[in-house]
Each structure stands twice: as C-alpha cells, then as structure tokens.
Structure 1
Amino acid sequence: MIGRHLLLEHWGGIQDADTIEAALHGAAGAAGATVLSAHLHPFEGGGLTGVLLLAESHITIHTWPEHDYAALDLFMCGTARIEAAADHLDAVLAPTRTSRRLLTRGERAPGALT
C-alpha cells in the first residue's frame, strides 16, 4: 500500500473560512503531516473550496452552505495518521452528522510483477 484516502462528509457544523483554514492546518498537525502550501477560495454568496498541499499528499474541502454540507478529501502516505486528521476536523467543525469512507491506494494486485 502506498497511501490511504479518506472521504469525509459533514452535514451541519461550522463553515466560516477562518475556522475551516485553522481546522485544516490543525488536521495536518494531528496527522503528523507537513504542510507545503495552502489556498482557500471563498465564493460570493457563501461557500468555499480549499486545499492544503502536504508532503504526504493533500487535504481538500468544498462547502455548500445552502445545503449545510461539506465534502472533505484526505489523502496521505507514509506514517501520517489520517484518522487523527479526520477526528480533528470532526471535533473542530462540529458536524451534526458525519460519514467516512476509507480506501487504500497503491496496493499491488495478487500476482503482479511490479
């Protein structure tokens, strides 16, 4: 396995840009990941999209305040603790409902030559 990819969904909770940016950085710290750069873009009328580029891969978010929903994507390799990052996001952003789907990435197929 090369990495783990966690799809995190939030319904309800905090969706303001400053809190989200701090939560993303805190999640990277909780995972033991290294932040290389960050960019958040707020949309007129609400909502935002953002990414933390990590040495271990990335954390992204896209929010839809009109649906009280946020989609987060965490992909990390190495020893990064992806569940700790998701736990931090859940704690800080305080969704009323959350869902997680974890995928392993880069697994070799049985019998693969490389």
Structure 2
Amino acid sequence: MTTPHRAAGTHLLADLSGIAPALLADCGRIEALLRDAALAAGARIVHSHFHPFGPGLGVTGVVLLAESHISVHTWPEHGFAAVDIFMCGAAAPQRALDVLREALAPRTCTVRSLQRGVDESATR
C-alpha cells in the first residue's frame, strides 16, 4: 500500500563553477545578493548571518526565511559556490537561483531538485 505524500517545498542544490574569484570573496556583496534572491522569489526574510574567512577567502552564510532558507559556501580560489535553496508555500526557488546565476555568471551550473514533504500517515 502506498502512503500519501504531500510536497512541503522544493529544495534546489546548485554547484556553480567558473565564477570570477572577486565575486565570491566579498561577504557584504554575497549577503546582499542572497537577500535580493530571496525577495525575488517572493520569500520573507527572517534573519541572515554571513561569515568571511579573510581577505580573498570564502564566505559562508544563510538567509533564514519564513519559507525555509538559502545558504551558500564559496571558494574564490576555485571559482566555486555551493548554494542550497529550500522554499515552501508560494515562494519560487528557481527565481532565487536565476538571480544568483545572473549576478555570479558561472561558467557552469549543476542543479539537483528535490521535492520535500511529509508522509501524511506519519502525522496521524
């Protein structure tokens, strides 16, 4: 017997490569970019926290959303950013990713998309 499943949201995992290193080392710019991406997706920002690892080094950070989160880890020395976008409700995670791709102009972008949800029978 199959159990009912209701998708709670879409989770995008994106590997962006071939990005200009300077775009990945500026903590303030990365935070502003992720916040802009969240707003473009129609999400509501609850809080954000970003940490720079030093001049020319990477940034890690998260924007907490009422609809879930967007997080990033950057490696300027490799021109690489790992992005995690999970949104539920009416928010549109693909719009957030489009904003990031436009701003960072990666040479390649590999995306995995997962539908996340709850097993309806587990809540009874």
User: Is the pair's TM-score, using the shorter chain for normalization, greater than 0.5?
Assistant: yes
Tell whether 2:15 aligns with 1:9.
yes
- Partner SS for 2:77: helix
Question: After TM superposition, which residue ranges in structure 1, 4 or more long, deviate above 6 angstroms?
Answer: none
Larger Rg, first or second structure (1 or 2)? 2
- Partner SS for 1:95: coil
2:66 to 49, 55, 58: 55
Q: Deviation of residue 107 (structure 1)? A: 5.1
For residues 79 and 102 of structure 2, the distance between their equivalents in structure 1, rounded to whole angstroms, comes to 17
Identity among equivalent positions (%) equals 50
| Cα deviation code 1:57-81 (max 9, x no counterpart) | 0000001122211100000000101
Matched with 1:18 is 28
- Which of the two has greater helix per residue? 2
Map 1:21-60 → 2, pairs under 5 A: 21-45=31-55, 46-60=57-71
The Cα RMSD (Å) is: 1.4
Question: TM-score, normalising length from structure 1?
Answer: 0.90
The answer for unaligned runs of 5 or more in structure 1 is none
For residues 90 and 109 of structure 2, the distance between their equivalents in structure 1, rounded to whole angstroms, comes to 24
For residues 104 and 22 of structure 1, the distance between their equivalents in structure 2, rounded to whole angstroms, comes to 27
For residues 18 and 59 of structure 2, the distance between their equivalents in structure 1, rounded to whole angstroms, comes to 15
For residues 99 and 4 of structure 1, the distance between their equivalents in structure 2, rounded to whole angstroms, comes to 16
